[in-house]
Amino acid sequence: MTKNILDELGSVIKGNDNFLLLTHEKPDGDAIGSLFGLFTVLRENGKKADAYLPEKPPMRYAPFVPEGIITDKAPDLGSYSCIVCLDTATSDRIGIEKSLKEKLLSCPLINIDHHPDNKLFGRQNFIIPDAAATAEIIFVTLQDSTGMRISQTAATFLMMGLLMDTGGFRFDNTGASTLKNASGLMAAGADYSRLINALFFSQPLNFVRMEAELVSRNLRTSFSGRYAWAYLSDEILAEFGVEKRDTESLIDILRQIQGVEIAVILYRKDDGFKISLRSKNKKYSVAKVARALNGGGHELAAGAFIKAGDVSEAEKILLDMIGELLG
């Protein structure tokens, strides 16, 4: 990671004493781990800090929520000297009420992220695409450029972000520096065993049954098995009592199928379909597909939205685009 960027970010953190922390809508593990981790470090080092989530976090993260996280109504933006937005590539995805976004963008907004297509919407932007996770940027900055104490609790939160964005250190964004920083977090007391069990080995029975039904009923493949996709319908979710926000890991079922290069999950949202895309091969950039649909993300993990009347129309659009990508 670029040291001068980290030092500049460290100076911003040291130079402010009244923070509001935000992240993206429908937060994932890196968003939540970064938010909780930085929130904890700031408070434990004597700074005033609030953190806001527009909705309660997914079920797997519920046991980790620290006291003081605001989840009902967004606080007064004018009450803070520094507002930090974490792990958010575009201002449209900031997890705050739409009525407040225009005011938010006129505030002293600090944008910290690792997405390569970040739109640089902050007053100051600290974007490091070669970081495995935003939580990794936070950890290295705090450790090397602020001198702040990182407690066991804070280290556990930051390890959460690193674990979830690397798939437990299985994904291609895992490098030597990733493992070195994970070691640093463990040295700071991160509860690795608790995280692994809670995040990867603790699915409720109704969720496991929903996964089985999704694969049995809705899994489709094409291009000689190189492309796999499934439609996560509202009916399946209702049948098994699963909430959409708890389906972050669902796409890994498709990604792990032998021979699959690209995996996609679709679900209904408003007047179209939200899609999550994953690639197992650097030759096939799903970010390219996502950007063509006005979405974005990483080369091997991206998301977008397709405006379509029914799922077959959305599936046909994806089939054509991915067929072109796979050649």
pLDDT tens column, 171-228: 999 999 999 999 999 999 999 999 999 999 999 999 999 999 999 999 999 999 999 9
Q: Which domains does the chain have, with CATH numbers?
A: 3-200 (3.90.1640.10), 205-326 (3.10.310.30)
* H or E segment and range at residue 170: none
Please write the tens of the pLDDT for every residue from 108-125: 999 999 999 999 999 999
Integer-rounded Cα Rg, in Å, for the chain is: 20
Average pLDDT over every residue of 75-93: 96
- Torsion sign (Cα): 78, 84, 90, 93: negative
* Tokens (6 digits) for 250: 């669902």
Beta-carbon contacts of 85 under 8 Å, excluding residues fewer than 6 positions away, are 22, 23, 94, 109, 110, 111, 112, 113, 121, 122
Percent of the chain with pLDDT over 90: 96
Predicted TM-score (pTM) of the model is 0.94
What is the per-residue pLDDT for 72? Answer: 85
Residue 68: per-residue pLDDT:
94
Render pLDDT for 287-301 as a digit per residue (tens, 0 to 9). Answer: 999 999 999 999 999
Q: What is the pLDDT of residue 166?
A: 97
Average pLDDT over residues 304-318: 96
Q: What is the mean pLDDT of residues 1-8?
A: 87
Distance of alpha carbon 170 from alpha carbon 249, whole angstroms: 14
What pLDDT was estimated at residue 169? 97
Q: What's the pLDDT at 267?
A: 97
What is the token pair recorded at 125? 């932007």
Confidence of residue 2 (pLDDT cuts 50, 70, 90): confident
- pLDDT at residue number 3: 80
Q: What is residue 133's predicted lDDT score, i.e. its pLDDT? A: 98
Nearest to 56 by CA among 196, 246, 240, 199: 246
Average pLDDT over residues 39-54: 97
Q: Is residue 269 predicted with pLDDT exceeding 90?
A: yes
CB 133 within 8 A of CB 114: yes
Dist. CA 221–CA 176, nearest whole Å: 35
- Residue 262 near residue 302, CB atoms below 8 Å: no
- Return phi, psi of residue 55, to 5°: -150, 160
Q: How many helices (H) and strands (E) in the chain?
A: 12, 11
CB 286 within 8 A of CB 229: no
Whether the per-residue pLDDT at 103 is higher than 80: the answer is yes
pLDDT band for position 14 (cuts 50, 70, 90): very high
